Structure 1
Amino acid sequence: MVSAVTVQETGKLPLALIVDDSLSNRMTLEAMLRIQGFEVITAENGESGVNQFRELAPELVLMDVQMPVLDGIEATRQIKSHAGDNFVPVIFVTSSEDEEIVKRCIDAGGDDFFQRPFSPSTLNAKIKALRRIGNLYNEVRGLNSLREREEDIAEQLFSNAIESGNVADSKVRIYKRPAATFSGDVQLTAFRPNGDLNVLLGDFTGHGLTSVIGALPLSETFRAMTRKGYSGEEILLQINRKLHGLLPSGMFLAASFVTLDVSSGHARIWNCGMPEILLMDGRSKELKKVIPSADPPLGILSELDLTPVENVQVNPEDRILLMSDGVHEARSPKGEMFGEERLLMAANKGMKHGNLMDQVVFSVGAFMAGRTQDDDVSLIEVPGYVQAPPQSFEQVGQNSIEKVSEDEHWKWSIVLRGGSLKRVNPVPLLLGQLQELEGPGEHWQHLFTVVTELFVNALDHGVLGLDSSLKSSPEGFAEYFQARESRLENLSDGYVKIRVSHAPIDNGGRLMICMQDSGKGFDHQAWLEAIAADKIPDDGLSGRGIKLLMEMCESISYSEEGSRVDVSFAWSNS
């Protein structure tokens, strides 16, 4: 409805359409409307009224009910259809007192109704009321339009700033179908410096624009800590602390997190308030394991005590399926939920036909049968093996040592004792320090592997006294990690000392790394001789770390009965 302000701005009177087969009625209504400041057009039947509405777009329609050619009820349906999202009030004017006719008029889209005879003041009051409704409608429509534009911008920001950095690997499949313009689900993937793959599927409370509050810091924390080599547990704990201080009361993040360890063929899985994670066997084509939620969602508690990580062996043909609760809670037209039983049937069928995620998505869509979804639907399908993008740099051999300037050296050290060995991972601290001092570079990915191997050996085999031969079988691998968690939990003494010194060389640098632990040491000479004689099986886990260090470092030497190891790692920036 056009307001008085619009008239003043445009210099035109608002246009009203009168549709009535009675000439006297048309003349009476026209006189009343002109007094109220309207320009008036008339039509003697519904068909003519619809045509004039389409041609001249009036802002108000007074409609008779019973007319030849096309009655007022059908004419109103056509007018409302043509008006679309524009609010054009239609007032029915009739002499009938039949309640059924009144109901049909309202059902057809009529906005008001009055009977003859009526006074000009009554008509004036109804028009003023509809004008107020029209103004409010236009205001709400404008606000909705603004909100939609903001959501479109937020969705572009979400896609560009958050999801565009995901791993570009066709084997890691991601599906997202938001319930609104903006999804409250977040899918993140990234490689650690040693080639392990981190995957996070998060579901913020509700859906829509408010979820961007947490999505940006979530993605920044995930990528930065993954890039520096932090473990999945450390990343989840930091995300929890950040979201707890940021999110408003009542808002939190349910999350599934997977670290795919490409070197050991294992997956480490955390489930914080999400639906069950499915591990599908690529050989039997059936369900291999279900990982339910064992921890609360993130952002609720200031500090989170995560349960021990779920370690599972995976084959390259296996598939890990993460999903948001929008899958389980999808509803049919009758209101029935999709549920776990239908999900497992779809997953098993999908594995047999080689289209796990596609089959689940298809089954959910067929079950909903066109019903509007209540929540965001998200899935991530992770294969049992993903190859990290190849990285290349030139290693510097022993014969390439250049003169070192003493004033360019720097040193870094840390000592971890007792319980701090459970709480602190020194590897990302060292990598962060290196990047601060020496800048970014592909060589840090290789160094991450070296330092991680040294620290894990010092902690696991030195301080905790774990036997690496346990990892020679899947059952032993699980036993190994259970024992590790138990001994770490009860650790009260012991230490690991790390000292690193840097010396620049031509177009590169060299790090001397010393790792010493409080353990009893081991027969390192026997291992070195076995590796030199090529007696370490390639498919074995025990002893492979020492062989890896020998391949990646310039030199490696053990002392103090094996509780201390010194390595030299060099690189070239060319």
Structure 2
Amino acid sequence: MKILIAEDNFTDRLILKKIVEASGHEVLEADNGVTAMEVFVSQSPDLVFLDAIMPEMDGYQAAEKIKALTTNHYVPIIFITSLTEQADLVRCMEVGGDDFFTKPFNKVFLEAKLRAFERTNNLYRTIEKQRDEIQFHTDHMLQEQEVAKRIFDKIAHTGELHQPYIRYTASPMSIFNGDILLVARRPFGGVHVFLGDFTGHGLPAAIGAMPTSDIFFGMTLKGFALVEIIQELNRRLHAVLPTGFFCCALAAHIDFEEHNIQVWNAGLPEAYLMNRASGEFIELPSSHLPLGIVGNENLNVSFSIYSFQEDDRLFAYTDGVTEAENSEGEMFGQERLLEALKRGINDDDAFGCLLRDVDEFQTEPEQGDDITYIEVHYSTDYKGPEDEQNLTGELSSGPSDSRFSLELGPNSLRNFNPLPVLSQPLMEIGHLQMFRTQVLTILTELYSNALEHGVLKLKSSLKSSAEGFAEYYRLRQLRLEELEEGFVKVDVKHSPSDNGGRLEIQVSDSGEGFDYKKALKKAESKGYSGRGFPLLYRLADSVEFENNGATIKVVFSWSTGK
């Protein structure tokens, strides 16, 4: 060891020096406190012998300064003193001394103390080295997590959460968030909402969010129905998540034009439909298994359907909200959550009221779980498909002068959604991607009309209320399951022009047709509002009916304006 001896008496310093050097240690010398501090700063000794009484700066003052300089590492201080009063010896310990040695020196005793402090010193150096290694690896891990987080955020982006009809908060417990909140606008109108809570916290919980986000946004953009998206999410998570890991989730499809909402709750706390005008609260409890627990053959994807009008709000949250704790360990709880929502709904600020209550309640800086909640309100400013245009469409070498057909029989109609397949070649045509929403809306309306009204013989009048919507989709599913005959045929032709093209879509079904002239007059009397045929007339250049309405041909001309 390198040992500093600070002693103003030359004889005592020399004797102590010889004993220390004989024990195999290097000696540094100082004859007063000021010199001792200069040597300590310049030479960084491993142990200090310090006389209590010295000129210029006594040992007590020097000990305090040495301890202030060694907060991050251990340097023992042994006081050398001829003092015998208990108060003086106690003061040696109080100012930072680790031991004391009285004069005259006992060589055997002193050598034993040196060996003991050498062992202690070696132990502390080992601990400090391990501490530094741990800190290095911790800093490296945090740096990697920050990089991974930036990549993760770009992959698992939040989509349409910036829309004015959405309010949300997401407060992760750590760098990575086990909660996932996604909103995507459907190309056919309306939005998909997904709120998920993966088992656990941090990076292991967040891993599942990456395929979830990719599937949700990719399938929504391609026109898949929410039920198909949930099935694919469950299939993927069931395949990749380890046993014991799963995702509690709430998924909703909100159609602002049809004034309805479809909700599927699988393991999250009950969500709420709130009406600002009446103050009514409708509970949306969990009634399904979380994603990833069972295979699709045992997965129930049945939606609850409700009316969604101008004063309505959807509120959903993860259990981190109700499990937030105060300094006494008391949870925020369901009762406080409901009280905050009801107090704020009349002022149209249920979300803000709850946000303030949770912040005030959760006084501890460390939270025990990820906290996420969202409020979606009915929007009169929501843009319909005729108002939307994707200006980021890129030119591709797709089938610009092309024609294709697809005919579906009973089995395919029961089990297959053709819209993503039909849309794929269309979206490869030049800049037609700029008009994705309009084109896919036309396809959806034509196919839905052919399947639901032509083949399944369902009546639109059922969809005049939320209860009617539920009955409509119940009959739709029932008749699909019982379907033994019938077909839907889709013919698509595209002809290019200098700066755009002409798209012809013809859809035929095996039904008996309908009185389309009467339907058109009825639509005209309402000023072509809503979906169905009025929407087709707004989007397309022309709509033609043949075969008593069992065949509909639509022409959509497009131009980039360049």
TM-score band, normalised by the shorter chain? 0.7 to 0.9
Pick from 246, 252, 266 the counterpart of residue 252 of structure 1. Answer: 246
1:290 aligns with 2:283: yes
Deviation at 1:446, TM superposition (A): 0.7
Cα deviations across residues 161-211 of structure 1 (Å, max 9, x unaligned)? 433644432331221111112222222222111331222222222121234
Q: Matched residues in 1 for 2:464 and 2:148: separation?
A: 49
| Aligned residues of 1:152 and 1:182 also touching (Cα < 8 A) | no
Partner of 2:395 in structure 1? none
Deviation at 1:30, TM superposition (A): 10
Partner of 1:434 in structure 2? 426
| Aligned residues of 2:46 and 2:75 also touching (Cα < 8 A) | no
Pick from 199, 202, 208 the counterpart of residue 193 of structure 2. Answer: 199
Deviation at 1:317, TM superposition (A): 2.7
TM-score norm. by structure 1 comes to 0.78
Pick from 443, 446, 451 the counterpart of residue 435 of structure 2. Answer: 443
| Aligned residues of 1:46 and 1:67 also touching (Cα < 8 A) | no
Aligned residue runs from structure 1 range 319-468, under 5 A: 319-370=313-364, 372-385=366-379, 387-388=382-383, 390-392=387-389, 409-438=401-430, 441-468=433-460
Partner of 1:535 in structure 2? 525
Cα deviations across residues 355-402 of structure 1 (Å, max 9, x unaligned)? 2222223222333332632111011211122614842599xxxxxxxx
- Determine helix, strand or coil for the equivalent of 2:525: coil
Deviation at 1:69, TM superposition (A): 11
Percent identity of equivalent pairs: 32
Deviation at 1:74, TM superposition (A): 6.5
Are the structure 2 counterparts of residues 307 and 59 from structure 1 closer, same or farther at C-alpha, using a change threshold of 3 Å? closer
Cα deviations across residues 525-554 of structure 1 (Å, max 9, x unaligned)? 2223444xx324667x6xx51122123222
Deviation at 1:144, TM superposition (A): 1.5
| Aligned residues of 1:512 and 1:569 also touching (Cα < 8 A) | yes
Partner of 2:292 in structure 1? 299
Q: Matched residues in 2 for 1:259 and 1:473: separation?
A: 16
| Aligned residues of 1:46 and 1:70 also touching (Cα < 8 A) | no
Deviation at 1:439, TM superposition (A): 5.1
Partner of 2:518 in structure 1? 526
Deviation at 1:220, TM superposition (A): 2.1
Partner of 2:115 in structure 1? 121
| Aligned residues of 1:510 and 1:570 also touching (Cα < 8 A) | yes
Deviation at 1:252, TM superposition (A): 2.6
Q: Matched residues in 2 for 1:34 and 1:381: separation?
A: 75
- Determine helix, strand or coil for the equivalent of 2:277: coil
Are the structure 2 counterparts of residues 247 and 50 from structure 1 closer, same or farther at C-alpha, using a change threshold of 3 Å? farther
Partner of 1:509 in structure 2? 501
Q: Matched residues in 1 for 2:543 and 2:470: separation?
A: 30
| Aligned residues of 1:182 and 1:208 also touching (Cα < 8 A) | yes
Cα deviations across residues 199-243 of structure 1 (Å, max 9, x unaligned)? 222222212123443333222222222222222112222222233
| Aligned residues of 2:450 and 2:507 also touching (Cα < 8 A) | yes
Pick from 310, 316, 319 the counterpart of residue 310 of structure 2. Answer: 316
Pick from 548, 557, 560 the counterpart of residue 570 of structure 1. Answer: 557
**Range that drifts further, 54-63 or 175-184:** 54-63
Q: Matched residues in 1 for 2:19 and 2:69: separation?
A: 19
Partner of 1:556 in structure 2? 543
Two-structure CA RMSD over aligned residues (Å): 3.7
Q: Matched residues in 1 for 2:4 and 2:289: separation?
A: 62
Partner of 2:75 in structure 1? 61
Deviation at 1:453, TM superposition (A): 0.9
Cα deviations across residues 301-360 of structure 1 (Å, max 9, x unaligned)? 342633311211112332211211211222233333322222111211221333222222
Partner of 1:104 in structure 2? none
Q: Matched residues in 2 for 1:18 and 1:319: separation?
A: 77
Deviation at 1:261, TM superposition (A): 0.8
* Counterpart amino acid of residue 303 in structure 1: N
Partner of 2:63 in structure 1? 49
Partner of 2:83 in structure 1? none
Cα deviations across residues 121-167 of structure 1 (Å, max 9, x unaligned)? 33333332333222222222222212222222233333344336444
Q: Matched residues in 1 for 2:417 and 2:451: separation?
A: 11
| Aligned residues of 1:267 and 1:313 also touching (Cα < 8 A) | yes
Partner of 1:231 in structure 2? 225
Partner of 1:272 in structure 2? 266
Q: Matched residues in 1 for 2:473 and 2:171: separation?
A: 37
Q: Matched residues in 1 for 2:311 and 2:18: separation?
A: 78
Q: Matched residues in 1 for 2:130 and 2:310: separation?
A: 60
Cα deviations across residues 389-447 of structure 1 (Å, max 9, x unaligned)? 842599xxxxxxxxxxxx96422222233343243222222122211344552212111
Are the structure 2 counterparts of residues 318 and 94 from structure 1 closer, same or farther at C-alpha, using a change threshold of 3 Å? farther
Q: Matched residues in 1 for 2:359 and 2:95: separation?
A: 38
- Determine helix, strand or coil for the equivalent of 1:325: coil
Deviation at 1:452, TM superposition (A): 1.0
**Range that drifts further, 145-154 or 66-75:** 66-75
- Determine helix, strand or coil for the equivalent of 1:512: strand
Are the structure 2 counterparts of residues 214 and 120 from structure 1 closer, same or farther at C-alpha, using a change threshold of 3 Å? same
| Aligned residues of 1:30 and 1:40 also touching (Cα < 8 A) | no
* Counterpart amino acid of residue 469 in structure 2: F
| Aligned residues of 1:213 and 1:247 also touching (Cα < 8 A) | no
Cα deviations across residues 84-132 of structure 1 (Å, max 9, x unaligned)? xxxxxxx94479xxxxxxxxxxxxxxxxxxx999544333333323332
Q: Matched residues in 2 for 1:229 and 1:476: separation?
A: 24
* Counterpart amino acid of residue 59 in structure 1: H
| Aligned residues of 1:393 and 1:572 also touching (Cα < 8 A) | no
| Aligned residues of 1:46 and 1:68 also touching (Cα < 8 A) | no
* Counterpart amino acid of residue 291 in structure 2: L
| Aligned residues of 2:408 and 2:489 also touching (Cα < 8 A) | yes
Are the structure 2 counterparts of residues 49 and 316 from structure 1 closer, same or farther at C-alpha, using a change threshold of 3 Å? farther
Deviation at 1:35, TM superposition (A): 4.3
Deviation at 1:475, TM superposition (A): 3.0
In the alignment of these two chains, the number of paired residues is 509
Q: Matched residues in 2 for 1:247 and 1:29: separation?
A: 69
Q: Matched residues in 2 for 1:279 and 1:32: separation?
A: 83
Are the structure 2 counterparts of residues 414 and 152 from structure 1 closer, same or farther at C-alpha, using a change threshold of 3 Å? same
* Counterpart amino acid of residue 270 in structure 1: W
Q: Matched residues in 2 for 1:251 and 1:157: separation?
A: 23
Q: Matched residues in 2 for 1:232 and 1:455: separation?
A: 17
Q: Matched residues in 1 for 2:230 and 2:183: separation?
A: 14
**Range that drifts further, 342-351 or 158-167:** 158-167
Are the structure 2 counterparts of residues 471 and 55 from structure 1 closer, same or farther at C-alpha, using a change threshold of 3 Å? same
Are the structure 2 counterparts of residues 167 and 328 from structure 1 closer, same or farther at C-alpha, using a change threshold of 3 Å? closer
| Aligned residues of 2:536 and 2:543 also touching (Cα < 8 A) | yes
Q: Matched residues in 2 for 1:367 and 1:32: separation?
A: 64
* Counterpart amino acid of residue 513 in structure 1: I
Partner of 2:466 in structure 1? 474
Q: Matched residues in 2 for 1:268 and 1:499: separation?
A: 31
Partner of 2:33 in structure 1? none
